[in-house]
Structure 1
Amino acid sequence: MNKLLPQPQPTQLNFTPYLIRVDLDAVNCPELARNILSHQPLRRPRLIVDCQCLRCLRTRGVAHFVSQLLLLHQAGAQVLLLNVPNLLRRCLRLLRLEHTFQLEPTPSPLAHAA
């Protein structure tokens, strides 16, 4: 039984939730990608990844993190990254991936002054 996404019932329309919060430290990305592909005709999910406290960024590095995101993107998911540190934002820009994934806009320094 798959616990990541609901399984379609023959007599029931099944829509993948539009927004899904994903913890990349806890989820098996290849399995999630397979589930997204199996639900592809129904809806393209939008995955939200909060980068603020990800252990995998510190323990496995940016390359592993980006490869997991690319796997999900290739499966058809839209990936929204929240709380992206400046260093990761720069790495994504250098890899030319800043348009592949949606990044939460950085707060303007002027917004804090007001």
Structure 2
Amino acid sequence: MRTTLSPPAALASFTLVNLDEVEATFVVRDLGLDAPQLLIDCSRLRCLRQLGVSYVVSQLLVLHQGGARVFLVNVDPVLHRCLRLLRLDTLFPLV
């Protein structure tokens, strides 16, 4: 079962994060918010192709452990299947 949220009315409350350009540990620390809502566009992640699904999943988990709510956009079938197999698809909902 695919977990999908309808697009939020106001995306202004989301911070777009590019995992190719920043490490997840710095994102949460630099935002300094109690529960930031992060939007990850997976369509152009070079790190997904170069470093693999395990790297992306580990970065998502670091963001989550730092207190961020992480939402994913444009998830390819391989990443989606891995998230589902790891039972992380409910932790990182698709928008």
Q: TM-score range by the shorter chain?
A: 0.7 to 0.9
Return the TM-score normalized by structure 2.
Answer: 0.81
Please say which structure displays the higher CA radius of gyration. 1
Gaps of 5+ in 1: 1-16, 105-114
Q: Pairwise CA RMSD of aligned residues?
A: 1.4
1:88 aligns with 2:79: yes
The alignment of Structure 1 onto Structure 2 pairs a total of residues equal to 84
Q: Which has the higher contact order (CA 8 A, sep 6+)?
A: 2
Gaps of 5+ in 2: 1-11
Q: CA separation in 2, counterparts of 1:89 and 1:56?
A: 16
Q: CA separation in 2, counterparts of 1:98 and 1:29?
A: 19
Structure 1 runs (4+) greater than 2 angstroms displaced: 33-36
- Determine which structure has the larger helix proportion and give its number: 2
Q: CA separation in 1, counterparts of 2:33 and 2:15?
A: 14
Kindly provide the amino acid, as one letter, of the partner of residue 73 in structure 1: H
- % same residue: 49
Return the TM-score normalized by structure 1.
Answer: 0.68
